[in-house]
Amino acid sequence: MSQTITYWVEDDGESAISEEEWADIDALQKRTNLRQYFHKGQLGFLRFTYEPRWPQLFADSALPESLSVTEMERHVEMLVDRGWRWEDLVRAKLAARVPGGLYGSECLLAGQSEVSDLRSDLRLVIRFLLKASVMAPRCVFHAAIDGPVRVPELLIQNGEVRHDPKAMADRLEDFRRRDDVDSAVDLLDAVDSGDYLSAPRGDAPTEG
């Protein structure tokens, strides 16, 4: 079995991240994926996704206008398969950066990890987010955990974790409407135990 953790920083006018902060987070992500053992999956935080530099949208596009949309996509995919990096394609005016990963322009950063249902995998993801939040203290990191017990949205900032009170209330109200007492108890037990966290609240995450 697996569980999915979706994480993002909203472009809400309050959160902000510098190029240097993102570079530190991306380097931490790469080290974690390389050195830490996930039973399944890995970290997938993105500041940008990429797409072909459509001539219809970009006047400076180097893609031939004679190609169809499908042919343009295949052409760019072929270049990536041949070893071109996306940033090289951007510089060559063959691709464009789209901000916000999974959530388009609504997010500064976003990502998703499908990991095993073992607590150790979940803790690795949360531990990464704790460290990332210290690296970018002006950002509020959101995390939604969809696993054996779906924990309401977490809010992580500067190494501190709290639950989104509205998300928690909405989840419990949904259980109440369905008279699902067992799920409500499981949820409250999961939140109280904090088993999905890798460090006690208030502990400064250390590099490792």
Mean pLDDT of the region 100-109 = 67
Q: Tell me 105's DSSP state.
A: G
Confidence of residue 101 (pLDDT cuts 50, 70, 90): low
pTM of the shown model: 0.64
Q: Are 41 and 53 contained in the same domain?
A: no
Longest dimension (CA), the chain: 60
* Pair (95, 107) in one structural domain: no
- The domain that holds 42 is classified in CATH as 3.30.310
In the chain, the amino acid numbered 97 is R
Answer whether residue 165 shows pLDDT above 80.
no
- Boundaries of domain holding 54: 49-99
41 and 77 inside one domain: no
Angle at 205 between CA 200 and CA 208, to 5 degrees: 125
pLDDT at 28 over 90: yes
In a domain, 120, yes or no: yes
Report the C-alpha gap between 36 and 54 in whole angstroms: 38
Q: Helices marked H in 11-150 — which ranges?
A: 19-35, 69-81, 86-91, 119-135
CA 122, CA 113: separation in Å to the nearest integer? 9
pLDDT in tens, 131-162: 999 999 999 998 887 755 455 578 899 988 88
Domain boundary among 36, 67, 99: 99
Q: Residue 108 has what pLDDT?
A: 86
**138 vs 12 pLDDT, higher one:** 138
Taking each continuous run of H as one helix and of E as one strand, the counts in the chain are 6, 7
Instruction: Please report whether residue 203 resides in a domain.
Output: no
Residues 92 and 154 in one domain: no
Mean pLDDT of 20-44: 92
> Domain check: are 106 and 181 in the same one?
yes
Instruction: Classify residue 107: in a domain, yes or no.
Output: yes
Same domain, 131 and 146: yes
Are 28 and 131 contained in the same domain?
yes
Residue 11 has pLDDT above 90, yes or no: no
Whether residues 126 and 58 share a domain: the answer is no
d(CA 75, CA 95): 11
For the chain, the average pLDDT equals 80
What pLDDT is attached to residue 122?
Answer: 82
Q: Is residue 95 within 8 Å of 76, Cβ to Cβ?
A: yes
- Residue 198's pLDDT band, with cuts at 50, 70 and 90, is very low
Q: Are 131 and 145 in contact (CB under 8 A)?
A: no
110 and 186 in a single domain? The answer is yes
Q: For residue 7, is it within any domain? A: yes
pLDDT at 104 over 70: no
Given a cut of 90, whether residue 100 has pLDDT beyond it is: no
Of 69, 99, 129, the position where a domain reaches its end is 99
Neighbours of 128 (CB within 10 A): 26
Span 60-99, pLDDT tens digits: 999 998 989 999 999 999 998 998 988 789 899 999 887 6
Same domain? For 39 and 128 the reply is yes
Last residue of a domain, one of 63, 79, 99: 99
Q: Which amino acid is at 104?
A: G
Residue 72 lies in a domain: yes
Same domain, 59 and 158: no
- Please provide residue 2's backbone torsions phi and psi, each rounded to the nearest 5 degrees: -135, 170
Higher-pLDDT residue of 49, 196: 49
Same domain, yes or no: 58 and 91 = yes
Residue 172 in 3-state DSSP?
helix
Q: And the tokens for 32?
A: 């974690």
The number of folded domains in the chain is 2
Check residue 119 and give its pLDDT.
76
